[in-house]
Amino acid sequence: MAKGISSKIFSNKVLGLVDRDREIKQLMYALFTKEHMLMMGPPGTAKSLFAMRAFSAIEGANIFRIHLTKQTTEEYVFGPLNIVELKKGNLIHNTKDSILTADFAFIDEFFDASDVLLRSLLGVLNERQWLKGSQEVSAKLHTAILTSNYQRDNNVTQAVLDRIIFKTEIQEVTAKTKRLKIYKDAIEKPDFQTPKVLSLKKLKKFSKLVEDPNSVKFPKHVLQTFDYLLTEFTKESKKYISQRTANKSLKVLKTSALLDGRDEVSYGDLEELRYVFCVLNRRMEEEIFDAVYERCVGKAEEEKIIMNDLEDIETKIKKTPKNFDRLSDQKFIDHMREINGYIHLLDTMQSPTTKTSTKRDAILAKMRNIVDDNRDKIFKRKRVKVKI
């Protein structure tokens, strides 16, 4: 289904980076879902390099790049005022070559911007619309990567951050062998050129497939487990995840399924939610996610397997006659042996949830009734030597 698109289309080798596999996977989800990515971390951790090489790997892309400061005004981001219109008393911006006409945006030192500018970016990042007075412009923006050395926290930044579902804290490379690889690349590849691995046209086509409400199915049991996982994670992490973010995270599940060539989301796709629910590389958040995932999804998977086994047994029991009066001696014995075998199996079966316990007990009751109703019938017809 995802012909021409691979989950490994971006890699450390493609971007000329070292030890950034998880960040690259998060980038992949941001691109395929038309969402944005925030990278935070100390200076010198190649955040800017990561962003520019990521966008450079896409053929036919128009990239907008800016370094924000407290003094950066809207004109630098959305385009200068149109002088002709200004003389007429109209505040109209010339948006050519601005963020509004770009396919991708790299916004450096994001939290250095003023609250006024960040507030103006809200509609562009989420609704892809910019409203300024009487001027309304639709933004072409596919994905933005925002970088910062720190996180500023106030009402405005919280609103902006809620529109950026992929966040990561870039860590310094600590392993000696990997640091040596970085030195080697710096010596041998000082003019590294990022290869084009994906066309903008193909990326947009895949993203449209992700947005198509009919491209991937969500089984009821998976959606229920998704909600359980979300609820348990927010409860244990004390982290607020808005309904907007929860809804957008469903696109990650669709992307995971499509990249695997499936048209239905499975339990395994739920593990990819770590790239949305957690700030990547925040150890505490990821450890909580791992524990909650194991408890919620592991139990749900076990429940599904056991429920399938129980349904198979139930189907076979339904095909078994409730009254053995007309059966031959051998068939009578065969049926009794089969039912007793199932009873023994279910008696020893572990039930991970209330649902499986209820189902198992109901089937056991039916089988025991059949055995009780037929146990002595064969001896009333004639004596047999075959042991049941």
As given in the structure block, the two tokens for residue 187 are 């010596």
As given in the structure block, the two tokens for residue 127 are 């609704």
The pLDDT value recorded for residue 28 is: 96
pLDDT digits (tens, 9 = 90+) for 356-365: 788 888 888 8
pLDDT digits (tens, 9 = 90+) for 277-317: 999 999 999 999 999 999 888 777 667 777 788 888 888 88
| Shared domain check, 341 and 192 | no
| Shared domain check, 236 and 202 | no
Task: Give the structural domain span for 262.
Answer: 213-317
What's the alpha-carbon Rg for the chain, to the nearest Å?
30
**pTM to 2 decimal places:** 0.79
Domain end among 211, 226, 252: 211
Work out the mean pLDDT of the chain and round it to a whole number: 89
Neighbours of 226 (CB within 10 A): 23
Q: Does residue 340 register a pLDDT over 80?
A: yes
Name the maximum alpha-carbon separation found in the chain.
112
| Shared domain check, 74 and 12 | yes
Higher pLDDT pick, 8 / 264: 264
| Shared domain check, 367 and 307 | no
The pLDDT value recorded for residue 282 is: 94
Q: Sign of the CA dihedral 324, 329, 330, 336?
A: positive
| Shared domain check, 202 and 110 | yes
Higher pLDDT pick, 317 / 106: 106
Domain end among 317, 352, 372: 317
- What type of residue is 287? E
Domain end among 317, 334, 353: 317
Q: How far is CA 78 from CA 67, 148, 162, 206, 207, in A?
A: 14, 20, 22, 28, 25
| Shared domain check, 3 and 114 | yes
As given in the structure block, the two tokens for residue 215 are 């491209």
| Shared domain check, 305 and 235 | yes
| Shared domain check, 256 and 222 | yes
Q: How far apart, in whole angstroms, are the C-alpha atoms of residue 203 and residue 59?
A: 10
Query: Residue 386's pLDDT band (boundaries 50, 70, 90)?
Result: very low
Query: Residue 380's pLDDT band (boundaries 50, 70, 90)?
Result: low
Domain with residue 130: its CATH number is: 3.40.50.300
Q: How much is the average pLDDT of 2-16?
A: 83
| Shared domain check, 60 and 37 | yes
Q: Does residue 382 register a pLDDT over 60?
A: no
Q: How much is the average pLDDT of 57-72?
A: 95
- What type of residue is 122? L
Q: How far apart, in whole angstroms, are the C-alpha atoms of residue 86 and residue 91?
A: 6
Query: Residue 4's pLDDT band (boundaries 50, 70, 90)?
Result: low
Q: Does residue 381 register a pLDDT over 60?
A: no
| Shared domain check, 261 and 292 | yes
pLDDT digits (tens, 9 = 90+) for 28-50: 999 999 999 999 999 999 999 99
Q: How far apart, in whole angstroms, are the C-alpha atoms of residue 141 and residue 123?
A: 11
Q: How far apart, in whole angstroms, are the C-alpha atoms of residue 79 and residue 264?
A: 43
The count of structural domains within the chain is 3
Neighbours of 78 (CB within 10 A): 23
How many residues are given for the chain? 388
| Shared domain check, 136 and 28 | yes
| Shared domain check, 207 and 217 | no
Domain with residue 313: its CATH number is: 1.10.8
